[in-house]
């Protein structure tokens, strides 16, 4: 029995929660199913399943291996379908997680374009500002904005972007325009809370001319985990905010927000795709990331 067939049997056992049910589904003997799982465990040197007389459960190693097997088998099925039917277009489903506002303003347009180019692919888009667990929740990839925390996930940079310090004209008339980062300590500031915990409320600047470094702990009058909330608060004259350039470029062009501290730089980071570290990335997921890089090359 080859390795791929043993993977297929193992996945069926996990899906059906039993050897006998999996054997009936696959049309093989129970002994064949048991031998396939035992052979995999011997080859890997770990226990994939925990067996008792009444219950079968998946070990932590088994859960990780199950995820990888599912992806490998899906890739094989997709490749066979393309070759067997002479199809020139890939198919299958992509589950994508992305921040709410960025997804609504920018990502959905690219998803529509991608689906027009590859009509055989189904996209499931989850817009949420929380950090999802890609493996546990079954996502193929997530689009994330800004600096990324260290993790075991694989990362692909899709596009760069800048950050802007901005406030409404009305706020600046009432409170004055800060000339240096240090003057921000006397201002009302609108703070994004999905930064690393120790960095919430800490704004870092670098002098554009002299390279001087400035670390400022600001007075946060509104803290939120959503960029659109901070943008609306800035438009309402509630305070000073740091927001991505792609989020406020229209407001600045229309005079609704003013950029301040233009003599100082902020590290913008980038727009990234993160995905599980499986050995094989499905063709459809690679194509989607390639499409985003192509479309966003000169956008931000």
Which has more confidence, 152 or 30? 30
Note the pTM of the prediction, 2 decimals: 0.60
Contact by Cβ (8 Å): 49, 58: yes
Count the domains in the chain: 3
Residue with more model confidence, 150 or 214: 214
| Closest C-alpha to 233, from 158, 147, 168 | 168
CATH of the domain at 274: 3.40.190.10
* Residues 100 and 52 reside in one and the same domain: no
d(CA 279, CA 138): 16
Q: Indicate the average pLDDT of the chain.
A: 85
131 in the same domain as 274: yes
Q: Do 185 and 118 share a domain, yes or no?
A: no
When computed from its CA atoms, the radius of gyration of the chain, rounded to whole angstroms, is 25
pLDDT value of residue 194: 72
Q: Tell me whether residue 13 is in a domain.
A: yes
Spatial neighbors of 101 by CB under 8 A, at least 6 apart, are 226, 227, 228, 247
Residue 194 domain-assigned?
yes
Tens digits of per-residue pLDDT, 14-37?
Answer: 888 889 989 998 899 999 999 999
* Range 40-65 average pLDDT: 87
Domain that holds residue 292: 92-160+270-296
pLDDT tens-place string over residues 112-146: 999 999 998 899 999 988 778 887 788 889 998 87
pLDDT the model gives residue 300: 59
Kindly tell me if the per-residue pLDDT of 99 is higher than 70. yes
CATH code of residue 50? 1.10.10.10
The answer to whether position 81 is within a domain reads: no
Phi, psi of 103 (to 5 degrees): -65, -40
215-238 pLDDT, tens digit per residue, is 889 888 999 888 889 999 999 999
Q: Could you tell me if residue 87 is inside a domain?
A: no
The answer as to whether 85 is a domain residue is no
pLDDT tens for residues 156-178?
888 887 889 999 999 999 999 99
């Amino acid at each position: 029995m080859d390795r791929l067939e043993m993977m297929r049997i193992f996945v069926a056992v996990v899906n059906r929660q039993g050897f006998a049910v999996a054997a009936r589904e696959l049309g093989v003997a129970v002994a064949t199913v048991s031998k396939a799982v035992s052979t995999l465990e011997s080859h890997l040197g770990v226990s994939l399943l925990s067996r008792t007389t009444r219950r079968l459960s998946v070990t932590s190693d088994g859960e990780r291996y199950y995820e990888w097997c599912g992806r490998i088998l899906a890739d094989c099925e997709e490749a066979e379908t393309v070759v067997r039917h002479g199809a020139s277009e890939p198919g299958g489903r992509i589950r994508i997680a992305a921040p709410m506002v960025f997804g609504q303003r920018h990502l959905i347009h690219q998803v529509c374009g991608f689906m027009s180019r590859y009509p055989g692919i189904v996209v499931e888009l989850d817009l949420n500002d929380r950090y999802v667990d890609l493996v546990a929740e079954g996502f193929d990839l997530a689009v994330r904005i800004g600096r990324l925390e260290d993790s075991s996930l694989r990362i692909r940079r899709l596009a760069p972007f800048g950050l802007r310090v901005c406030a409404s004209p009305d706020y600046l008339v009432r409170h004055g325009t800060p000339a240096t980062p240090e003057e921000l300590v006397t201002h009302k500031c609108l703070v994004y809370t999905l930064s690393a915990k120790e960095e919430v409320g800490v704004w870092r600047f670098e002098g554009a001319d002299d390279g001087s470094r400035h670390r400022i702990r600001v007075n946060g009058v509104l803290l939120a985990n959503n960029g659109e909330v901070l943008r609306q608060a800035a438009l309402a004259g509630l305070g000073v905010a740091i927001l991505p350039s792609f989020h406020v470029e229209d407001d600045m062009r229309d005079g609704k927000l003013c950029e301040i501290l233009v003599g100082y730089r902020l590290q913008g980071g980038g727009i990234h795709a993160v995905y599980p570290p499986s050995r094989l990335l499905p063709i459809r997921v690679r194509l989607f990331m390639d499409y985003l890089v192509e479309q966003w090359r000169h956008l931000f």
